[in-house]
Structure 1
Amino acid sequence: MAQFTAEAFQNQYLPDGATDVHAIVRVDASGATTAAAMSGQGAAEVIIVDTSGSMGEKGIREGAVAATAALQEIADGTNFAVIAGNHLAWQVYPSAPVPGTAIMDPANRAAAMNAVRGFRADGGTAMGQWLLAARQVFLTVPDTYRKHAILLTDGANEHETPDQLTWAIQSCTGAFQADCRGVGDRWQVDEVRRIASALLGTVDLIPQPEQMAEEFKTLMRASMSRGVASAELRVWAPQGAQVLFVKQVSPNLEDLTTRRREVNPLTGAYPTGAWSDESRDYHVAVRLPAKSVGQEQLAARVQIAIGEEVQAQALVKAMWSNDDALTARINPQVAQYTGQAELAQAIQDGLAAKAAGRDDEATSKLGRAVQLANEAGNAEMTTRLKKVVDIDNAETGTVRLKKQVEKLDEMALDTASTKTQRVRK
């Protein structure tokens, strides 16, 4: 059985008149992988592969290899299906006139691997149709405890309107989780990130088609290890307080604020998705009515819950003081994750401005990103930024846009922007 622990990192001391309390809450899960191995037929997996014409002969061939690699990682007893997508979506396996799943066993695995060898590149791209097809499959197995999909695309969503994709994403939110991957340099990171974010999954770049199989294997292996299907982060704040935001800040940045579900007038629940044996950090900010120096108050109770059962709890506190030595301290976890969130936004804004031809704005934003990465000692992000800008002075963020930039380097920087470095205790 999975076990959770929770711990809060903060500076609880507020100066006279201050109202805002910030804390990083670290949640650790153990035993979830063992629970996954014992779950039997409690999970459902859907593999969605882009088979549009832009995939070409090599892309389709490697897409079939990737699907095969994922199929090999699905545990026996798991419900599964394979969907091919272009401007339409259809179920490749199990082949049937209505949506449904097969139960993984050696015979069905072999049959599915044979079916994906029949992928053919043709048509356009309509990812909303693919998502809705996956939703229909998952609806046929309502009793499965965990529902997960892998979605692969190589291009932009050109064969349906933005509103159609938005509607499809909204229809699938809460129905299943999805890890999304783009291969090559013709897909749009923002578009695919929007799908992954809504479906509590990840987005990343696969530079070359021959790298798809290893990525699919890794994704499916990770999914098979998740023995907790769904957990919520619950935040209680006292009467008169306001929860400003709740964000996951490690291992990826994800703003959960707008996904709040009211548990009671003082408590909101935020979805965190499925868990394996892992650790995640959340940034919680609460605004309190200011109190007099010397007074203290519980600012928040942050809990991790499965269903209605609370698994672990951390307390966020506030104490008003006129001691500058206490109130001026900046908690390192809060400071560094705040900086990483600003870094991600600067990168994304800078790349968007560059794509729109607003070079001055792009230079300013990417220069700020270089400055933040330098201050944090984030050598990996600095290296990625160097492929997009020439750095004259990292401390001041003085940069020049490179005249020639590989599209894959820009996309790699964009997808990496939401991956954070873990802040140690």
Structure 2
Amino acid sequence: MANFSKSNVPQFSVDVYQNEYLPEGGREVNGIVTVTSTGGGTSGGAPLLGASASPSQIPGRTPDAAVVVMVDCSGSMDYPPTKMRNARDATAAAIDTLRDGVAFAVVAGTHVATEVYPGNGRLATADRSTRAQAKEALRRLGAGGGTAIGTWLRLADRLLSSADVSIRHGILLTDGRNEHETPDALRATLEACAGRFTCDARGVGTDWEVEEVRGVATALLGSYDIVAEPDGLAADFTAMMEDAMGKEVADVALRLWTPVGVEIKFVKQVAPTVEDLTGRRTEAGPRAGDYPTGSWGDESRDYHVCVQVPTAALGQEMLAARVSLVLPDPAGGAPQVLSQGLVRAVWTDDMVASTRINPQVAHYTGQAELAQVIQQGLDARKTGDVDGATAKLGRAVQLAAASGNEETAKLLAKVVDVVDVATGTVRLKAKVTEADEMTLETRSTKTVRVKK
């Protein structure tokens, strides 16, 4: 493990957990890479909600952030009428959570995107006065029109790109399907916005598509979730904004360097959620590639790296991969290496050593399978494949229990009746609410950390 730090950048550390021993002829090497960022400060340690301290008085903080909140104002937000009211209140609560000095704007989203505050293609600077003005503007929000999420994101991108800041963040709320633009148009927007800002996405109620909301958040390296009841929006929006205010450094990349002859099988984030980063690699010099991780505050995440190495003689040892956290130089120079760790391979005839499964690797392999079988089970249930759904969701119950993922186990218990946890024997419930099914689908990728 190595540590590197720089003034006003949190300290990053990398720890690699693996069984480096391979049997004769063995080629697959797995490692869990734990990345921890500390010392940057989080929202919990800074005055919020219009506090009297200015950003310069808050240790370790600078007003180096911009946030755009995108609120669905399509016609369906009027059914029931409390939904629009809750959305206004939630956005007001998020605005209250902005710290002084942060640039911000509010966008109303229908089949077009409209600047609600401050308007004229500008961002406001958060202080007591602008927060009050923004909340006054929110009171005039009404519901009407269609849904074209790509237009909301493109306006957010234009607004955020006007700010000379390092942290650019969006918060997006929708209650319906993206019916007023094509999937290709939304995909093109996400490709255009990727790497320019991060975005948390929320679906309220049960009339939206999980895959659409997940697609937005995944492409823009943010979180996604369901808020089944509109009265839960304010707490959720406040928590999202507090998390955004805790980010201190953006555009961090996980750089993987491999020796000649080593093939990368996959790179996945496995905690706090499962996200496959393999296809998001950008080349970074000879035998090196960068995988995006987005913005960081005080937090820890786990990544699963799997590589295939050439065979070697017993007793031989090699570096299978070097994992680094890198921060681009805004001036275009060499990136700053924040921390790094090594993945090793050692060939041995000690069968006990070479067959031992590292507990971190085993845990997260199970968590990735858990997310997969939940999705497969729900897909089978939707198509009427009772046997397939029962088998997959039974396996999910088994994996959730084995890994201690209690939250997922509770969600599964709303969709199936558990007969035997150990064997994964379940029966599909005859009646399942749409909210319970969507909550399970939305949160299926959330993982629990391995008990070290």
Q: Please classify the TM superposition score into its range, dividing by the shorter chain length.
A: over 0.9
Task: Say if 2:145 is the partner of 1:123.
Answer: yes
- Determine the C-alpha separation between the residues in 2 that align with 1:359 and 1:191: 26
Q: 2:117 aligns with which of 93, 100, 104?
A: 93
Task: Say if 2:70 is the partner of 1:48.
Answer: yes
Aligned-partner SS, 1:264? coil
Size of the aligned set, in residue pairs, is: 422
Q: CA RMSD in A?
A: 1.5
| Aligned counterpart, 1:351 | 378
1:165-180 pair list within 5 angstroms? 165-180=186-201
| Aligned counterpart, 1:138 | 160
CA shift at 1:379, angstroms?
3.0
| Aligned counterpart, 1:11 | 19
| Aligned counterpart, 2:52 | none
Aligned-partner SS, 2:261? coil
- Determine the C-alpha separation between the residues in 2 that align with 1:125 and 1:362: 32
Cα shift readout 1:383-424 (whole Å, capped 9, x = no counterpart): 211111122222222222111001111111112211110113
- What is the percent sequence identity of the aligned residues? 50
Task: Say if 2:445 is the partner of 1:424.
Answer: no
Amino acid at match of 1:313: Q
| Aligned counterpart, 1:110 | 132
Aligned-partner SS, 1:299? strand
CA shift at 1:242, angstroms?
1.0
| Aligned counterpart, 2:259 | 238
CA shift at 1:382, angstroms?
1.9
Going from structure 1 to structure 2, the CA distance change for 1:104 and 1:361 (only over 3 Å counts) comes to same
Aligned-partner SS, 1:32? coil
Cα shift readout 1:114-169 (whole Å, capped 9, x = no counterpart): 0011110111211111111111212222x211100100011111222211211121
Amino acid at match of 2:445: T
| Aligned counterpart, 1:61 | 85
- Determine the C-alpha separation between the residues in 2 that align with 1:189 and 1:407: 12
- Determine the C-alpha separation between the residues in 1 that align with 2:28 and 2:441: 31
Cα shift readout 1:39-68 (whole Å, capped 9, x = no counterpart): 534211000011111111211111110111
Task: Say if 2:404 is the partner of 1:396.
Answer: no
- Determine the C-alpha separation between the residues in 1 that align with 2:451 and 2:14: 15
Amino acid at match of 1:299: A
Amino acid at match of 2:213: V
Going from structure 1 to structure 2, the CA distance change for 1:400 and 1:289 (only over 3 Å counts) comes to same
CA shift at 1:364, angstroms?
2.0
- Determine the C-alpha separation between the residues in 2 that align with 1:112 and 1:317: 54
Task: Say if 2:229 is the partner of 1:229.
Answer: no
Aligned structure 1 segments of 4 or more residues deviating by more than 3 angstroms: 34-41
Verify the 8 A CA contact 2:202 2:225 in the aligned structure 1. Answer: yes
| Aligned counterpart, 2:101 | 77
Cα shift readout 1:305-353 (whole Å, capped 9, x = no counterpart): 1221111111111000111110110000000000000000100111122
Moved more, 257-266 or 3-12: 257-266
Amino acid at match of 1:54: S
Amino acid at match of 1:385: L
- Determine the C-alpha separation between the residues in 2 that align with 1:411 and 1:161: 23
| Aligned counterpart, 1:322 | 349
- Determine the C-alpha separation between the residues in 1 that align with 2:404 and 2:451: 14
Task: Say if 2:189 is the partner of 1:181.
Answer: no
Aligned-partner SS, 1:186? coil
Moved more, 377-386 or 185-194: 377-386
Q: Which runs of 5+ in 2 are unaligned?
A: 1-7, 47-54, 329-334
TM-score by structure 1 length? 0.96
| Aligned counterpart, 1:201 | 222
- Determine the C-alpha separation between the residues in 1 that align with 2:420 and 2:63: 57
CA shift at 1:374, angstroms?
2.7
Amino acid at match of 2:97: E
| Aligned counterpart, 2:172 | 151
| Aligned counterpart, 2:49 | none
- Determine the C-alpha separation between the residues in 1 that align with 2:62 and 2:406: 43
| Aligned counterpart, 1:270 | 291
Q: Which runs of 5+ in 1 are unaligned?
A: none
- Determine the C-alpha separation between the residues in 1 that align with 2:386 and 2:207: 22
- Determine the C-alpha separation between the residues in 2 that align with 1:147 and 1:410: 33
- Determine the C-alpha separation between the residues in 2 that align with 1:203 and 1:189: 9
Verify the 8 A CA contact 2:41 2:61 in the aligned structure 1. Answer: no
Amino acid at match of 1:49: V
Q: 1:383 aligns with which of 391, 410, 418?
A: 410
Amino acid at match of 2:184: D
Verify the 8 A CA contact 2:195 2:251 in the aligned structure 1. Answer: no
Cα shift readout 1:85-112 (whole Å, capped 9, x = no counterpart): 111111101122xx22111122211111
